[in-house]
């Protein structure tokens, strides 16, 4: 991670932590918007992250996936200093309403849309969880339209055993060559 990436992560973390530290309202329907305001510091006001290379799109992401990731950050199964601090400040009962809020938003238009017509090697296995168009459903998140850099980093983290909050993904990614993972990340980013 370069100095600029570190500074962006630190800024996002401080902004989000400051906003979450003053929020003590339970996530009732009318209160969810107040609770999620700090998410925009990193994930964007309009669903486009401040730094899509390191921060995923959460607008329009599956509810199940958002809840699962928040719980993984809260328990330390998934590691990111910013998200761990935020998730630890969220009550378990507030996670689903927050996830539902973001899942109900429209996925932002992809400015890098340019997928090739031919899927790269290895994509068939991904469709079991991520669906035919990689737009996500139980149990897999949407992958279509996430940035190449973010996708590549997550695939590498699964393959290298650095990310272990999913039992299947490390096995799947280890079986796919680095070259094929890179091609997959480029393809998915262009959808």
Give residue 137's domain range.
123-189
pLDDT at 113: 84
Q: Is residue 137 part of a domain?
A: yes
Specify the 3-state DSSP secondary structure of 140: strand
pLDDT at 179 over 70: yes
CATH number at residue 151: 1.10.760.10
DSSP assignments along 6-26, one per residue: HHHHHHHHHHHHHHHHT--S-
Contact 23, 34 (CB under 8 A): yes
Say how many domains are in the chain: 2
Structure tokens at 76: 């330390």
Q: Is residue 165 part of a domain?
A: yes
Residue 17 and residue 82 share a domain: yes
- Contacts of residue 4, defined as CB under 8 A and 6 or more positions apart, other chains included, come to none
pLDDT at 10: 47
Q: What is the pLDDT of residues 3-15, one digit of tens each?
A: 555 545 545 554 4
Structure tokens at 69: 């990731």
Q: What is the pLDDT of residues 130-139, one digit of tens each?
A: 999 999 998 8
Q: What is the pLDDT of residues 30-75, one digit of tens each?
A: 589 888 999 999 999 999 999 999 999 999 999 999 999 999 999 9
Number of continuous H segments (helices) and E segments (strands) in the chain: 10, 0
Contact 136, 142 (CB under 8 A): yes
**pLDDT: which is higher, 26 or 65:** 65
**Average model confidence (pLDDT) across the chain:** 87
């Amino acid at each position: 991670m370069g100095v600029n990436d570190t500074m962006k992560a630190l800024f996002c973390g401080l902004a989000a932590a400051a906003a979450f530290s003053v929020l003590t309202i339970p996530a009732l329907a009318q209160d969810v918007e107040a609770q999620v305001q700090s998410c925009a510091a990193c994930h964007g006001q309009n669903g486009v992250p401040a730094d899509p290379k390191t921060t995923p799109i959460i607008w329009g992401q599956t509810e199940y996936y958002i809840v699962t990731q928040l719980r993984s950050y809260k328990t330390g199964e998934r590691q990111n200093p910013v998200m761990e601090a935020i998730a630890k400040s969220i009550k378990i009962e507030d996670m689903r309403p927050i996830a539902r809020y973001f899942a109900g938003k429209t996925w932002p238009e992809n400015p890098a849309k340019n997928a090739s017509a031919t899927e790269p090697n290895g994509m068939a296995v991904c469709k079991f969880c991520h669906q035919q168009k990689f737009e996500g459903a139980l149990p897999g998140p949407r992958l279509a339209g996430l940035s190449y850099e973010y996708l590549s980093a997550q695939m590498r983290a699964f393959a290298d055993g650095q990310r272990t909050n999913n039992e299947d993904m490390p096995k799947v990614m280890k079986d796919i060559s680095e070259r094929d993972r890179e091609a997959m990340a480029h393809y998915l980013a262009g959808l």
